[in-house]
Amino acid sequence: MKLIIITLFLTSLYSQEYRSHDHPDEFTMPKGHNREKMENMMVWKLTDRLELTTEQAEKFFPEFRIHRNKQRSIMDKKMQIGEKIAKDIKKNKKMTTSEVNKIIEEDFDLEKENNESRKDFLLKMGKVLTPNQIALLSVFKHNMIKEMEGDYKKHKKRGKKEKRNKKRMKSRF
């Protein structure tokens, strides 16, 4: 059973590395540009969806930024683990069971730390937000990701239609 779990874990990490690719130069942004845009959009959407008052926003966003920095730090650690595994696999390094168990423990510990941080943040916001606002906040990230996926799919479909229309126009001439 452990061997199956370890194999699935390593396979998923390796497949993530395998699927990654470099984007053409026209799609690359200055480092941190996307993150900054995302943070600004998140602040705007949070303010809008939670219907924050000025007083709530003044108390909420400093705590939110602290929480986001903690989460970012945890995700950076998880990415480092994944990058190390990908490099080792690329070099065809044979990993021992104890090494894999250590990696799994580190990953789950980081996940646990992330969940604890999120829980503490949501509970702390009980002093600032109403119960309905906390409920909305607890599902905000999930809903925002779903919304972004929908926007991406619409954009992708629109791009395919535009390409198809261009081909039709060229064939007429």
**Domain segments of the chain: what residues?**
2-20+29-130
Asked whether the predicted pLDDT for residue 123 surpasses 80, the reply is yes
Residue 69: is its pLDDT beyond 80?
yes
Mean pLDDT of the region 8-37? 56
Task: Return the higher-pLDDT residue of 56 and 147.
Answer: 56
- pLDDT digits over 71-106, tens only? 999 999 999 998 988 888 888 888 889 988 998 899
123 token code pair? 């509970």
Lowest mean pLDDT among 7-16, 60-69, 141-150: 7-16
Q: How many other CB atoms are found less than 10 A from the CB of residue 46?
A: 19
Phi-psi region of 92 (alpha: psi -120 to 50; beta: other; left: phi over 0): left
- Asked whether the predicted pLDDT for residue 128 surpasses 50, the reply is yes
Question: How large is the average pLDDT for residues 19-47?
Answer: 67
Which pLDDT value is given to residue 45? 87
For 18, counting Cβ atoms within 10 Å of its Cβ (0-12 exposed, 13-18 middle, 19+ buried), the class is exposed
How confident is the model at residue 91, as a pLDDT? 87
Q: What is the pTM of this model?
A: 0.62
Closest to 81 in 3D by CA, of 108, 115, 114: 108
